[in-house]
Amino acid sequence: MTADVVIRRARPEDAEAVARLIDVFADDALMLRRTPEMVELAIDDYVVGASRRGAIVACGALKEYSPSVAEVAAIAVSRDVHGCGVGRAIVAAVETLAIKRGIFDVFALTLQPAFFAAIGYQRVDRARYPEKIRRDCLACARRFACNEICFAKNLRLEARAAA
């Protein structure tokens, strides 16, 4: 629990609230939109942060590209709880989901490089993840003007260092 926010796996009934939260940042061109239907189709890949009253105030997802590589995606934290550690907790929950699935190479494309650097991610060339480029980037409306920065983390190395 962080800032009176409980981090948990997302449920189908969370899909609309997750999409609304993401839309707040999509309105500012900080994220790509996701419809409630898109979220619900991938609900098993999402984690959420819920307030004591049950409101969804944060979310994140694990987007698998291969049996060994996944993206830490759709990280959104309500401005009401910025700076309270909720973003770190969401990313940690997504990383835990990756480890449970046997995935140790994770990456994120972000407009918040300082956040990912602060939680142990290293800046890398996005060309390191051709699966992402083929599946998502080629069809993206922003592909010719993308300013997202790629960060990666090897969860197996981090677990060894912590032991």
Q: In this predicted structure, what is the pLDDT of residue 158?
A: 73
Pairing state between β 69-77 and 105-110: parallel
Residue 103: both structure tokens together: 């995935």
Please, which pLDDT band fits residue 67 given cuts at 50, 70 and 90? very high
d(CA 69, CA 74): 16
Query: What average pLDDT does this structure show over 124-137?
Result: 86
* pTM value surpassing 0.95: no
The percent of residues above 90 in pLDDT, for the chain, comes to: 78
Contact predicate 125/150, CB 8 Å: yes
Looking at residue 147, what is its pLDDT? 83
* Cβ atoms < 10 Å from Cβ of 3: 17
Rounded mean pLDDT, 67-74: 96
Q: Which residue has the higher pLDDT, 75 or 136?
A: 75
**pLDDT at 35 > cutoff 80:** yes
Tokens found for residue 87: 């973003």
Query: Range with the lowest mean pLDDT among 68-77, 81-90, 126-135?
Result: 126-135
Q: Which domain does 149 fall in, by range?
A: 5-162
pLDDT in tens, 9-31: 999 999 999 999 999 999 998 89
Q: Rounded mean pLDDT of the chain?
A: 92
Range scoring the smallest mean pLDDT among 13-17, 42-46, 102-106, 141-145 = 141-145
Q: Domain of 150: which CATH number?
A: 3.40.630.30
In 3-state terms the chain splits into helix, strand, coil percentages (rounded to 5) of 40, 30, 30
Number of domains in the chain: 1
Band of the pLDDT at 153, cuts 50, 70, 90?
very high
CA distances from 25 to 19, 74, 145, 160, 161 (A): 10, 10, 18, 35, 34
DSSP state of 18: H
